[in-house]
Chain A
């Protein structure tokens, strides 16, 4: 490798010279200036050994590195920002917006931050597993404070970097301790799930989930695919407000899914990114997870406070492993820590303190619940408005009621890639190419415009 880099340097520096013939190639010393006649002041340098050696370092070890493709989700916002058209609408990334389409920092968060500022707490390292008060609060929020699993100390909780980081810890645990085990993920799912399991080195395959015919759940397909997976497969489930479709199983369907997973000896891995944000109720949105835990199953659960507390930027979340004994929970927790240490040593304190302060104060907690209901309520209202608008304008008889059946921040419109592109290119409406729109980015005022765009794209583009 080394000798070839010296060799290739010679040609690389020549080409640099060619393209920069008038420029000073200033690499930090005079030595590298090329005069117009092509000679190098380096040739006057004392040690000839140093000359040839010196040139060697100018070739980067990363010369051949290609440009990474833009992130399909985060890239949408970037494209939106670049658009200068006045009617543009960003239904891309899933961050909540007010009716005025402004970002929203929850009042409880501001209060908690002010409290923290007044208190002037120190900024010491958290333990690897994170803030104890946060870990206690988050497990109780998820499972209910009086959940037997918590009382029996069977829950291992480690603070993680929001949903992504928590999922990654879970994935790393699977890779290390369940070699050969696969993860089943829904088709479709949040784009980053695949990246997480890929980078963690965990093989995955998909279970059917979305039925384009009904724009609803392909329950039969889902059951079949979970059934045919080899015993001991990890099944990734969205606790509520499935991303990107907005389609959740009904309570009865959850029961059947739990039956099957138990039968097949699979391990459920829940991604809970919208607790409280979907229905407005923390308990209701955690029902699926609690159902599985109540059956005595061992369960992994990744949580995020990005949406329900608006703490997107502070990266607050947790990985929970509910296992069959306190002893097992202790061991698992110790290994989760061992995975976290070489990733980031210990998690960031700021967001965790915010959560702990809010949940720990009955008044603030009450206010949080009210704000969450407000956010979820706005989304439900906007869904209703969009549905009303589309169904009154669209005379084709198509059933748009899926808009009301879906839940949470996102909706799968049923539009295909070309139709989604039309939404952007013709109507300046930014969304992901799978037909997903973020209702959090929609205002009542814009529903009519969106309705027109959807109807046009659906009927006039194939």
Chain B
């Protein structure tokens, strides 16, 4: 091949030039990025050789043997879609079936809003992608606004709105003394924010604290947000996974809908269907009418096109197969309840162990909190000790991923926590 000969010839001739060019790189100003605080934990865990090591870092579900789980309903769905003859591009807005099923799950099976076609919705790259689409959309159509996010929140929320060019403000959320909700602080901050601000709310199983408002508190939050004309954006990454019931976990959203809010909603199937790696989610924006919904959807697609053109198919096929088939959906509901129940069981066990060990500290927050995570209240230094002395890996904010606990290690972890918090 002519081009190959040319290539070889040139390579030899230019070797001296190559050497000279290596003196300075275009990329010398690029600094190494700091390790991602969450995903970096797993990296460190994997590198640890200790037989006792425990990973309570990243929020991925594990069974009682500490193994990742692929749901039976998912396996069955995959068998059914195997040999799928269609691998062409999805539309920019993604799989219509996936979106339909997602809206039913979140807004209600028989929601009028769906019938009236008032919801602009697109398939998104899991929860991250859904939030990113919304952040970009917010920046484009309301460039002078900020997003209010709770303190604390999932670390990546900061990155998402920052990279989208939307300034971030915070509102009080976690109350360290009670390890519960700072409700009055929250309400004050909603009230004091300028009218028409954008508020990010965790629909259920707040990440990282596990602290959720009660139903009554949600109603008051809804009123106050309404009074201020704020825009509520829900991040729902754990529907079904928190209480074991998807309907129950959507309660906050339903309260807001009943109150007449025009919400935004980011949904993820990473945890509740165990489809972490498939990146399946949905972004929806409730509009005044069908015409507006069509316009908003078209603009969301315009944002997606230069990011990834159209979303991946496989995960969407799995989800729409599971949710679209009554038998499979029933199986899913059972399986998601099993996951939620195991976690609730681990909360009880961890708390009991700590109390039985004779810890003088209060631990009821472990069972008061809900979902995958527990905000233990431990300091970064205590967390560091857990890692260095006991090979227990978690994020330095004291967040424990309950899914990483099982009957085999909960005693060990309880003991370790007791040890490092003894002097507190």
B328 within 8 A of partner (CB): no
Q: Please, which residue of chain B has its CB at the minimum distance from the CB of A118?
A: B82
The verdict on A93 contacting chain B, using a C-beta distance below 8 Å, is yes
Q: How far is the CA of A36 from the CA of B324 in the complex (A)?
A: 40
A229 CB–B CB distance under 8 Å: no
Task: Tell me whether A128 and B83 are in contact (CB under 8 A).
Answer: no
Which of B29, B141, B313 has the most A CB atoms < 10 Å from its CB? B313
* Residue numbers in B under 8 Å from A120 (CB-CB): 70, 75
Q: Is B27 in contact with A313, judged by CB distance below 8 angstroms?
A: no
State whether A199 and B307 are in contact (beta carbons under 8 Å apart), knowing that A28-B112, A60-B262, A61-B196 are contacts in the complex: yes
Which of B15-23, B393-401, B410-418 binds A?
A: B15-23
Chain B residue, CB-CB nearest to A127: B39
Interface residues of A in 191-227 (CB under 8 A from B): 192, 195-196, 198-200
Contact of A324 among B25, B226, B307 (CB under 8 A): B25
Contact of A284 among B1, B58, B223, B279 (CB under 8 A): B1
- Residues 307-345 of A contacting B (Cβ, < 8 Å): 310-315, 321, 323-325, 328, 330-332, 334-335, 337-339, 341-345
Is B368 part of the binding interface, using a Cβ–Cβ cutoff of 8 Å?
A: no
Tell me if B28 and A328 are in contact (CB < 8 A): yes
Q: In the complex, A232→B129 CA distance in Å?
A: 32
Q: Is the CB of B229 within 8 A of A6?
A: yes
Q: Which of A290-298, A380-388, A395-403, A425-433 contacts B (4 or more CB under 8 A)?
A: A290-298
**CB under 8 Å from chain A, chain B span 236-275:** 257-262, 270, 274-275
Report if B330 contacts A (CB, 8 A).
Answer: no
Known contacts A57-B262, A124-B276, A330-B32: does B87 contact A310 (CB below 8 Å)? yes
Interface centre among A3, A74, A114, A337 (most CB of B within 10 A): A74
Q: Are A57 and B229 in touch, CB under 8 angstroms? A: yes
Taking the complex as formed, is A346 at the interface, i.e. its CB lies under 8 A from any CB of chain B? yes
Residues in chain B near residue A57, CB distance under 8 A? 226, 229, 259-262
Within 8 A of B (CB), among A95-115: 95, 103, 105, 109-110, 113-114
Option from B26, B160, B223, B308 in Cβ contact (under 8 Å) with A161: B308
Chain B residues with CB below 8 A from A192, complex form: 305-306, 309
Q: A331-B32, A345-B156, A348-B314 are in contact. Are A255 and B88 (CB under 8 A)?
A: no
A229, B159: Cα distance in complex, Å: 34
Q: Do A339 and B163 contact each other (CB < 8 Å), given the known contacts A117-B82, A284-B1?
A: yes
Residues of chain B contacted by A58 (CB below 8 angstroms): 260, 262, 288
A146 within 8 A of B: no
Chain A residues lying within 8 Å of B70, measured Cβ to Cβ, are 120, 122-123
Task: Assess the B87–A314 pair: CB atoms within 8 A.
Answer: yes
Q: Which residue of B lies closest to A178 (CB)?
A: B26
Determine if A334 and B32 form an interchain contact, defined as CB atoms under 8 angstroms apart.
yes
Chain A residues with Cβ below 8 Å from B78 are: 117
Please provide the chain A residues from 151 to 181 with a CB less than 8 Å away from any CB of chain B in the complex. Answer: 161-162, 164-165, 168, 177-178
Bound form: Cα–Cα A65–B262 in Å: 15
Measured in the bound complex, the distance between the Cα atoms of B33 and A345 in whole Å is: 15
A103-B87, A296-B22, A313-B88 given; A123·B308 CB < 8 A: no
Contact check, B26 vs A298: say whether CB atoms are below 8 A apart: yes
* Contact indicator B4/A287 (Cβ below 8 Å): yes
With contacts A65-B295, A323-B27, A342-B162 taken as known, whether A123 is within 8 angstroms of B275 at the C-beta atoms is yes
- Contact: B303 with A199, CB < 8 Å? yes
| Interface residues as binary, A23-38 with B (CB distance below 8 Å gives 1, 0 otherwise) | 0001111011000000
Contact in complex: A296, B21 (CB < 8 Å): yes
Q: Is the CB of B195 within 8 A of A1?
A: yes
The 8 A CB mask of A1-33 against B (1 = contact, 0 = none) is 111011000001000100000000011110110
Are B277 and A60 in contact, with the CB atoms below 8 A? no
Let me know if A314 and B312 touch, CB within 8 A. Answer: yes
Write out the residue numbers on chain B whose beta carbons fall within 8 Å of the beta carbon of A325: 22, 25
B43 to A, closest residue via Cβ: A127
CB distance from A90 to the nearest CB of B (A): 12
Which residues of A have CB within 8 Å of B22?
296, 324-325
Question: How many interface contacts (CB-CB < 8 Å) are there between A and B?
Answer: 323
Interface size class of A (residues with CB under 8 A): 35 or more
Q: Are A344 and B295 in contact (CB under 8 A)?
A: no
Q: In the assembled complex, which residues on chain A have CB atoms less than 8 Å from the CB atom of B285? A: 62
B residues in contact with A232, CB < 8 Å: 26
In the complex, are the beta carbons of A3 and B260 less than 8 A apart?
Answer: no
Interface residue? A347 (CB, 8 A): yes
Bound-complex Cα distance A399 to B80 (A): 52
A66 adjacent to chain B (CB < 8 Å)? yes
Q: Of B89, B128, B313, which is within 8 A of A343 by CB?
A: B128
| Alpha-carbon distance A135/B303, docked complex (angstroms) | 27
Stretch in A48-56, A359-367, A369-377, A411-419 with 4+ CB within 8 Å of B:
A48-56
Q: Given the complex of chains A and B, what is the CA–CA distance between A323 and B22 in angstroms?
A: 9
A404 within 8 A of B: no
**Bound state CA distance, A67 and B112, in angstroms?**
24
Q: Is B404 an interface residue (CB 8 A)?
A: no
Chain B CB within 8 A of A126 CB: yes
User: B10 and A103: CB pair below 8 A?
Assistant: no
Check if A68 is an interface residue, CB within 8 A of chain B. yes
Closest to B198 in A: A61
Q: Is the CB of A63 within 8 A of B314?
A: no
| Bound Cα distance A114, B90 (Å) | 22
Interface string of A230-252 (1 = CB under 8 A from B): 00100000000000000000010
Given contacts A31-B260, A284-B3, A348-B277, contact A177 B30 (CB under 8 A): yes
B2 at interface, CB cutoff 8 A: yes
Is A313's CB under 8 angstroms from B126's CB?
Answer: no
**Contact at B301–A68, with CB atoms within 8 Å?**
yes
Instruction: For the complex, give the distance between the alpha carbons of A225 and B204 in Å.
Output: 56
The 4 closest A-B CB pairs, nearest first, are: A2-B195, A296-B18, A349-B277, A313-B313
20 further A-B contacts with Cβ under 8 Å, apart from A53-B226, A117-B82, A328-B27, are A26-B112, A61-B262, A62-B285, A63-B292, A67-B295, A68-B295, A74-B91, A105-B87, A109-B87, A123-B276, A177-B30, A196-B306, A251-B6, A284-B3, A291-B7, A295-B14, A335-B30, A339-B163, A341-B128, A345-B125
